Structure 1
Amino acid sequence: MTLNNKQKQYLKGLAHSLKPVVLLGQHGLTEGVLAEIDIALAHHELIKVKVATSDRETKQLIFAAIVRETKAEKVQTLGHILTLYRQAQEPKITLPRK
C-alpha cells in the first residue's frame, strides 16, 4: 500500500496528539524492538517511534530499517520521531480516497 499526499496529511493530523509508543535506547534496533513495533502497529495502526541518536545518518538508516522490516508506510519523520502506519486486518482508520 502506498499513501498519497492527501492520506499522509490526514494521518499526520491524527498522529499529532500521539506520544511515541516505542523508544529505541542504547542497544539500538534489536529483534525485540522490531517485535514491539510490529505488535504496536497491529494493535494501533498508527504509531510513533522515538530514536535517541544524535547521528543523522545512523538515524535515517534506523528509520529505513524499521519501515522495511515492519512493512509499514512512513508517514513522516520529525526530529527523532518516526510516524508509521500499517493497515490492520480489520482497519480502525478510514483513509481518504486517492
Structure 2
Amino acid sequence: MDKHDELPKATQREAELQRKIDDLQGQVTGLHRTQEETNPELSSEFQIQKEKIDEHSKQLEKSAEKLSQLESENLTLRDENQALNAASNKKRQFRTQVPPHADSGNT
C-alpha cells in the first residue's frame, strides 16, 4: 500500500478539489491580465469606477454612523421629554387635588 492509498477518501477528494481551485484561480488571474493588456482603457475606467464606489461606501458608512448617533440622541431626548411630561402631570394632579387654604380670608 502506498501513501496515496492510505489517505482517507475525503482527504483525497479535498486535495483534488484544492488542485482544481488552484487551477481555476490561475485561469482567472490569467484572464484578468489578458483583459488589462487587451483593453487598458476599460481597465482604467474600471479602476476609476471602483474608486468611486469605495468613496461612496465610505460616505455611506459615515452616514450610517451619524444616523445611529442621531437615533441614540433622539431616544435620550424622548426619554427626557417623557420624564418631564410625567413630572408636569404629577404637579398638575397635585394642584387639582389640594383643597384651597382655609386661611384665605374666611375667618
TM-score by length of 2: 0.19
Quick check: which one's strand share is greater?
Answer: 1
TM-score (normalizing by structure 1): 0.21
Higher relative contact order (CA 8 A, sep 6+): 1
Bigger CA radius of gyration: 2
User: Greater helix share, 1 or 2?
Assistant: 2
